[in-house]
Amino acid sequence: MNNKVKWGIIGPGHIARKFAADLLLSENGTLHAVASRDADKAKSFADQYKASTFYSDYESLAMDSDVDVVYVATPHAFHFEHTMLCLKNGKSVLCEKPMGMTPLEVQTMIAEAQKRKLFLMEGLWTRFIPATEKVLDLLADNAIGTIINIKADFGFNPPFDRNHRLFNKALGGGSLMDIGIYPLYLALLVSGKPDSIKATAKLTVTGVDSSCRMDLTYKNECRANLLSTLEEETPTEAIITGTNGYIKLHTRFHHSKIITIEMNRQKKEIVLDYNNFGYLFEIEEVNGCLMEGKTESVKLPLHDSLALSHMLDMVRKNIGLY
């Protein structure tokens, strides 16, 4: 692939707008096509974000032979269907989080991509944010010693709307699948898959979790105390504590621009600023992988997405959410 990577976007909603704005800044990628179920919406999105073409159905985009990779940005419950549509039409995929609603869906998506030798990655942009990269470097250097605790919360207070994807069960609603995935991913990234998870939740009248507390334990005695909530604005910070100190990812921790590290009672603040919505880093990771002919990212491998899906499943079983 010599020229710029040509992207397609399926589901031009809230997040796709930010993604497309960042794609305009990309050195190695360009927006080729967008598909909405509404032709006018597709056209206006294409005009605003300089796509060469647009479609009024998702299948036509999946069949466009000029598209190299599709960003699937529909609500959670459709990630499986739309990713499979793209893969079966020979397209690589960056699928928004969570990659599927169940481990079986994720496993099936991975198997399809592998069978067809296509690139597949979950849109966990957190992994590529400079602050996350810095934290991983510090941990690899054993900067704070052995990790003993991870504390992370993610909370905001949207108005209740039974039809919105956050509260609508058919669209995969609830705090866990939408934002609880970020603290869980941080724990996975830092300490791996836990040995057990205990979780409690409050459910809405629509049958999804409005808040979810998760306690993870590891054989090496590391623990993680995590929270997601749609009931209150919480600090949305993360603190990783080790035997020699701690690292704090400042709010919002999943795309932080500031970290603090404290060791031997000495505090140091590190600013890792960036001038985009934060999606440019994952976009360039995908571009790079495609240009090198890779079918998955070393930084965000498919087995991490599967492990994360199992963790979400463990939580759901605990809180009785199916």
Ligand X SMILES: NC(=O)c1ccc[n+]([C@@H]2O[C@H](COP(=O)([O-])OP(=O)(O)OC[C@H]3O[C@@H](n4cnc5c(N)ncnc54)[C@H](OP(=O)(O)O)[C@@H]3O)[C@@H](O)[C@H]2O)c1
Under the rule (CB under 6 A), what is the footprint of ligand X? 11-16, 36-38, 41, 73-76, 78, 96-97, 123, 125, 165, 171, 178
The nearest distance, CB 246 to ligand X, in angstroms, is 26
Distance between CA atoms of 241 and 221, rounded to whole angstroms? 13
Token reading at 7 = 């992207």
Output 8 or 245, the one with its CB closest to ligand X: 8
Catalytic annotation present for 151: no
The nearest distance, CB 240 to ligand X, in angstroms, is 21
Task: Using alpha carbons, select from 191, 209, 121, 113 the residue that is nearest to residue 152.
Answer: 191
Output 11 or 245, the one with its CB closest to ligand X: 11
Give the residue nearest to ligand X (CB).
13
The nearest distance, CB 158 to ligand X, in angstroms, is 11
Output 97 or 144, the one with its CB closest to ligand X: 97
CB-CB contact of 32 with 8 (8 Å): yes
Mode of pairing for the β-strands spanning 266-271 and 258-263: antiparallel
Output 86 or 144, the one with its CB closest to ligand X: 86
From its phi and psi, is residue 207 left (phi > 0), alpha (psi between -120 and 50) or beta? left
Q: How far apart are the first and last CA of the chain?
A: 42
Output 1 or 39, the one with its CB closest to ligand X: 39
CB-CB contact of 72 with 83 (8 Å): yes
CB-CB contact of 71 with 167 (8 Å): no
The contacts of residue 140 (CB under 8 Å, 6+ apart) are none
The nearest distance, CB 33 to ligand X, in angstroms, is 13
The nearest distance, CB 95 to ligand X, in angstroms, is 9
Q: How many CA atoms lie within 13 A of 308 on its CB side?
A: 30
Distance between CA atoms of 110 and 278, rounded to whole angstroms? 25
CB atoms within 10 A of CB 246: 19
Distance between CA atoms of 108 and 85, rounded to whole angstroms? 12
The nearest distance, CB 145 to ligand X, in angstroms, is 32
Which member of 6, 91, 97, 248 is catalytic? 97
CB-CB contact of 177 with 98 (8 Å): yes
Output 282 or 296, the one with its CB closest to ligand X: 282
One-letter amino acid of 322: Y
Cis before 98 (ω within 30): yes
Residues catalogued as catalytic: 97
